[in-house]
Amino acid sequence: MLNYEKVSFNRSRNGSDNVYKSMLKWVAIGLLTVFGIFLLGNVSNLFINESPDRIALKISMSEKLQTVSSKIPHTTVADEDHGILSIPYGSAQEYIAKATKVSGVYQAMSVPLEHPQISPRFYFYTLGKQMVNYLRGDLGVVVTGTGKAKIPATEAIKEMIPRTFRYFIPSLVTALVLSMLFSLLASQNRRSGKVLDGIHALLVSVPDFFLVTLITFLAIIVYKNLHIRLALVVQFGDQVPFLIPFLTTALIPGVMIYGTLRLAFQRELSQNYVVTARAKGLSQAEVLWKHVLRNVMEDLLAVLPKATTAALASMAVAEAACDILGLGGFIVSPRMQGVSMLPLTCLALAVVSMLFHGLYALLRKRYVVSTKEVSA
């Protein structure tokens, strides 16, 4: 009795240790992913074409550059003939704003470099500055194209996520449902299978950007000739396009899921338990729905993370093409400027992707083991 209790205790402790190690592993992977995306999101700061420690001033004839410099703390005259001041490293925009407020200064601007440079120093400087701002709760701002309006990043994110999820979630669910139904139909009827496999082969070779362009041109031509608006092409005020990003986002994951399930159904239909079920008088439809479908859940949950990642990429393409101010289109829209949003938007996309991956991992752990049938 004591030995049995000891063995049970050891098994329970080993199980807890495994869960703890698994949680630590996924947390570490998540943190590394976020950190890597943060580094890549700031890679544009590695390339500079303006001096990070100098600004140029245009001042009145009655003023001297040395006098102006004395009115701006922590600056020195670098080139009096060209009106150039030395400033603390990486603070060009801040000191340009300060200089324009000094009397006698007509204009303050950055100093262009003769040739673009790769500057690891400026890259790591901006990384450190951005991390400090994030820790202080300053996530940056989004500046409109006119430069007059500045939107806090937190408010922009709150608007971007619902706008993107308005069609991203429906398109992903539609891709999942239709691909499962079409793969079942293709496995149940040989003629339908040939037609659907042919369409699948065609869609595999079609880029998502081509689909966006094709639907856009079709909508424009129909509206021009018939005055019927099939789809809103670009975002206009509060009116956000739905059909174009919906179809584009659903295409790639739908094609991926269909191809995976089609092969999985063909594999399962050749198994012994299917032969046994047919020998007992079950029809092809009954075999598929009652037996085979449960056994392809592992394949489905294995392809869903890749399909979701592909859907996010297609979503970014659609938003960029339709000028939608969502997670994918905000940072490339000509109506907006401000590089400080790029890392934050990339991190938001990464968090969305990781949440979906975590959901699939939980479903896989809970259902896959218990749904696999064996031959009788």
Tell whether 204 and 343 lie within a shared domain.
yes
The β-bridge partners of 276 are: none
**What's the CA gap between 225 and 222, in Å, rounded?**
5
Tell whether 190 and 98 lie within a shared domain.
no
Q: Indicate whether 177 pLDDT > 90.
A: yes
Residue 9's pLDDT is what? Answer: 47
User: Rounded to the nearest 5 degrees, what angle is found at the Cα of 359, between the Cα atoms of 357 and 362?
Assistant: 110
Tell whether 210 and 313 lie within a shared domain.
yes
**What's the CA gap between 142 and 339, in Å, rounded?**
8
219 near 321, Cβ under 8 Å? no
Residue 129's pLDDT is what? Answer: 84
Tell whether 8 and 97 lie within a shared domain.
no
Tell whether 307 and 188 lie within a shared domain.
yes
Q: How far is CA 57 from the centre of its chain?
A: 41
- Confidence band of 374 (pLDDT split at 50, 70, 90): very low
Tell whether 275 and 311 lie within a shared domain.
yes
Q: Which residue has the higher pLDDT, 7 or 218?
A: 218
Pairing between β-strand 150-152 and β-strand 105-118 as defined by DSSP bridges: unpaired
- Confidence band of 333 (pLDDT split at 50, 70, 90): low
- Confidence band of 82 (pLDDT split at 50, 70, 90): confident
**Within a domain: residue 149?**
no
Average pLDDT over residues 4-18: 53
Tell whether 116 and 66 lie within a shared domain.
yes
Tell whether 341 and 215 lie within a shared domain.
yes
Tell whether 237 and 122 lie within a shared domain.
no
Closest-CA residue to 344 (of 130, 151, 144): 130
Tell whether 98 and 13 lie within a shared domain.
no
- The b/e string for 66-89 (b: 16+ C-beta within 10 A; e otherwise) is eebbeebeebeebeeeebbbbbee
**What's the CA gap between 275 and 280, in Å, rounded?**
9
**What's the CA gap between 247 and 250, in Å, rounded?**
5
Residue 178's pLDDT is what? Answer: 93
**What's the CA gap between 187 and 286, in Å, rounded?**
12
**What's the CA gap between 218 and 143, in Å, rounded?**
34
What is the DSSP-derived secondary structure letter of residue 365?
Answer: I
**What's the CA gap between 195 and 189, in Å, rounded?**
10
Instruction: Tell me the percentage of the chain whose pLDDT exceeds 70.
Output: 79
Q: What's the predicted TM-score (pTM) here? A: 0.68
End-to-end Cα, the chain, rounded Å: 37
Torsion 51-37-135-353 (CA) sign: positive
Q: Residue 19 sits in which domain range? A: 1-41
* CATH number for the domain harbouring residue 121: 3.30.70
Residue 67's pLDDT is what? Answer: 87
**Within a domain: residue 143?**
no
* CATH number for the domain harbouring residue 187: 1.10.3720.10
> Total domain count for the chain?
3
**Residue 224, phi then psi, degrees to nearest 5:** -70, -35
**What's the CA gap between 72 and 99, in Å, rounded?**
7
Residue 231's pLDDT is what? Answer: 60
Q: How far is CA 117 from the centre of its chain?
A: 29
**Within a domain: residue 376?**
no
Tell whether 99 and 134 lie within a shared domain.
yes
Give residue-wise pLDDT tens across range 122-144: 999 988 888 887 787 777 666 65
What is the DSSP-derived secondary structure letter of residue 282?
Answer: -
Amino acid (one-letter) located at 267: R
Tell whether 240 and 340 lie within a shared domain.
yes
